[in-house]
Amino acid sequence: MRRPHKHGGRWCFSVLITGFLLCAPALGAQESILLSYQRNFVRANLATKAGILRDAATDERASDFIGPLYEYALEFCLQQSDFLRDDPDMIALAVLASAGARDSGHRPSVDTLWKLFQSYRDSLIRVEILRSLGVLGRGNPQVVENLNQFLANQNNVFRSGMAPDYPTLSACIEALSALGDGSSFPVLFSTMMAAYPESIRTGAQAAMSALSGDYKSFLIMVIQRNPPAEKLTAFNAARESSRFSSADMGEIAEAGLRTSLDLFPSNPEGEAAIQTLRFSSVRLLGSLKWARAVDAVIKHFYRVQTDYNEGRAAKAQLLEAVSCLGALDSSEAAQTLALQLGLFNSQMERTGEYDAEILTGVINALGELGDKIAFDYLLYIGYLGYPEEVQSAARDALNRLTW
């Protein structure tokens, strides 16, 4: 077996040092070239600075330094934004540096680009910055969040009656399409729903189709985050689509119910949309027998019962809530309805009053559930003065209980 040379460590160290010394002049040369262009950039007047960037881009060594040089120019534009933001030469320089950062693939420029976007209002600059962010910001969640928020703000401006900057709006939509992040779906959906010119709405629709992720999750995000009318539109779009399984629709309907239970819009249009979403979700959950949403359905039942007693809900809506509980195959649903039947029996015993339609609905729902927790309440019906149709419904329900 050959023994390692005792001077092997020194030899390796010497090779590393030699390699570093060979590379150092190249690194120093790259830095020197960058510094040289930066010095010339500082000395030049505003109109000449753009020429320096163009000359640098044609340098055969440009790939070694051009990205940081564009970044240097962007920083200059940012620093001078308070004084020269409307100067044509400054605007031209900012546009050139923004495009250069994109073409050179210099990703560290994204923060400076966004600050520049916020500092300048000129459409030429903003459109070029957005194009660059659509390329350099891929995989950067902060860039996506910034553009999502900007588009949401533009939508609010438009709804308030003010005209947005349409070229910038279109460029933002195109940037979000290029970034392809699923979190952009709700704001793009909102843009598509607004009364923008057809080109804007078509662009938003095309951008939505370019996003990564699944359509079900996108619609659920809209239901959870967007204004009431858009929530309802997303729910209806899902219901009319043939691409979703029963489980998918259960998740969508559950999101619709949970969201609508927690919202109380102050305007009549929003309130109507939320009410429609809520009751439509309950009907769908019942037809799908989606027991995962039982707690939300129980909450809905108690609310609609209160609304019915106070004259704010129709009997049909209360019967739908009862029927939905009966379809969920859940012990929690059975307990809720059994307790309700107990209250009806107590009322009958005290006052002799009852609503035959609602009472029968609860009895039939308990029969559907077949949970033995309802046994005592159903059995007690036979000792009260209910008519034969109620007594017969109770006997049928008793026979369907599982032991």
The DSSP-derived string for 68-80 is HHHHHHHHHHHHT
Distance, in Å, from the CA atom of 275 to the CA atom of 289, rounded to the nearest integer, reads: 21
pLDDT along the chain (403 residues), means of 10: 43 36 44 89 93 94 93 96 92 97 96 97 97 97 98 94 94 98 96 95 94 92 96 95 95 98 94 97 98 98 97 97 97 98 96 96 98 97 95 97 91
N-to-C CA span, the chain: 80
Residues contacting 208, CB < 8 A, separation 6+: 185, 188, 189, 192, 218
Nearest to 323 by CA among 293, 365, 292, 358: 365
- What is the pLDDT at residue 213? 87
What is the distance, to the nearest Å, from the Cα of residue 372 to the centroid of all Cα atoms in its chain? 43
Tell me the C-alpha distance between 205 and 237, whole Å: 14
Report yes or no: 243 and 214 within 8 Å, Cβ to Cβ: no
Q: Which residues contact 371 (CB under 8 A, 6 or more apart)?
A: 331, 334, 335, 338, 401, 402
C-alpha to C-alpha distance for 265 and 220, rounded to whole angstroms: 19
Alpha carbons 174 and 313: distance in angstroms, whole number: 45
Structure tokens at 328: 């969920």
The pLDDT score that the predictor gives to residue 30 is 57
Six-digit token string for 373: 């927790």
- CA dist., res. 209 & res. 202, Å (int): 11
Return the closest-CA partner of residue 117 out of 133, 135, 141, 102.
133
Q: Please give the backbone phi and psi of residue 89, each rounded to the nearest 5 degrees, phi first.
A: -70, -35
Read off the tokens for 310.
Answer: 């106070």
* 3-state helix, strand and coil shares in percent for the chain, rounded to the nearest 5: 80, 0, 20
Instruction: Please report the DSSP string for 195-253 in residue order.
Output: ---HHHHHHHHHHHHT-SS-HHHHHHHHHHHS-HHHHHHHHHHHHH-SS--HHHHHHHH
The Cα 377–Cα 375 span in angstroms is 6
Inter-residue contact 149 to 116 (CB < 8 Å): no
According to CATH, the topology of domain 330-403 is Leucine-rich Repeat Variant (1.25.10)
pTM of the predicted protein model: 0.81
Give, in degrees to the nearest 5, the angle at Cα 277 between 275 and 282: 100
CA–CA separation, 56 and 68 (whole Å): 11
Residues 6+ apart with CB under 8 A from 315: 308, 355, 357, 358
Tell me the C-alpha distance between 377 and 34, whole Å.
87
Cα separations (Å) of 175 from 110, 159, 350, 362? 13, 22, 69, 54
Q: Which amino acid is at 377?
A: Y
Domain segments of the chain as ranges:
40-136, 152-212, 214-328, 330-403
Two structure tokens written together for 378 = 């159903």
Burial of 5 (0-12, 13-18, 19+ CB in 10 A): exposed
Residue 272 CA to residue 32 CA, distance in Å, equals 68
Distances (CA, A) of 72 to 14, 42, 49, 113: 37, 10, 11, 11
> Rounded to an integer, what distance in angstroms lies between the CA atom of residue 130 and that of residue 134?
6
Report, at the CATH architecture level, how domain 214-328 is classified: Up-down Bundle (1.20)
